[in-house]
Amino acid sequence: MSVQQAAQFRKAIKIYDKTKTISDAHLKTILTTGALAPSSNGLEPVKVIIIKDQKLKEQAALNCFMAGNQQKVKDVPVLALLLGSNGDYLTSEEFLTKRLGRIFEGEALTNNVKGMSNYLKTCLSPDMFSDEQTHIVASFLALQAADLKIGSSIMGGVTPTQAIPFF
């Protein structure tokens, strides 16, 4: 299937069929493609949490999502929660050293950590930077799922203050 054909297949699923499953091989392919999503300066500020357990999906639905999305979350065969680093952690020396340390060392690492921290702090919002990176990963995941003829839904509607205790 071409990228254009996958994009044409892709649509937001409003009601999931509880009887459908996703094979481990397909899930691995989808997650591998998500990991290939471009990330500004290799920061990769996104974690993907996979939930298959029905009780955990129900808890996630009630604790993390607005009422309109709760049934979808309960019914989806696999719930992939994408978590972007918050702005304070994203700009921290700890995070930047860990991420940039995969590319640089010594003085070059110190200079790049300082430079990236300064850059991120000049962004309108470091949280927004992280959100943008999360959306890129979500797009790659959804497009790969479409290529496998697996429906998906990228949804917001997360209630952060309620979600924090869930995680």
52-72, pLDDT tens digit by residue?
999 999 999 988 888 888 899
Residues in the chain: 167
Asked whether the beta carbons of 84 and 120 are under 8 A apart, the reply is no
Q: Is residue 165 situated within a structural domain? A: no
Rounded Cα gap, residues 101 and 130, in angstroms:
19
Q: Which helix (H) or strand (E) covers residue 80, if one does?
A: strand 79-84
- Identify whether 159 is part of a domain: no
Locate 74 and state its tokens.
């309960």
148: domain CATH number is: 3.40.109.10
Say if residues 130 and 85 touch (Cβ distance below 8 Å): yes
In a domain, residue 163? The reply is no
Q: Does residue 160 sit within a domain?
A: no
Confidence of residue 14 (pLDDT cuts 50, 70, 90): confident
pLDDT tens by residue, 101-155:
999 999 999 999 999 999 888 888 888 888 899 999 999 999 999 999 998 988 8
Q: How far apart are CA 136 and CA 122, in angstroms?
A: 21
Instruction: State how far the Cα of 91 lies from the Cα of 153, in Å rounded to an integer.
Output: 30
Structural domain including 97 reads 3-152
Which pLDDT tens digit goes with each residue over 21-48? 999 999 999 999 999 999 888 899 999 9
- Whose structure tokens read 């979808």? 72
Please give the radius of gyration of the chain, using alpha carbons only, rounded to the nearest integer. Answer: 18
| pLDDT at residue 148 in the model | 95
Amino acid at 84: G
Q: 96: number of CA atoms within 13 Å, CB side?
A: 22
Look at residue 1 and tell me whether its pLDDT is greater than 90. no
10 within a domain of the structure (yes/no): yes
Query: Could you tell me if residue 76 is inside a domain?
Result: yes
Q: What was the pLDDT predicted at 137?
A: 96
* Alpha-carbon dihedral 72, 73, 74, 78, rounded to 10 degrees: 110
Provide the pLDDT for residue 44: 92
Asked whether the beta carbons of 136 and 37 are under 8 A apart, the reply is yes
Domain count of the fold of the chain: 1
Average pLDDT, rounded, for the chain = 90
Half-sphere exposure of 27 (CA within 13 A, CB side): 13
166 in any annotated domain: no
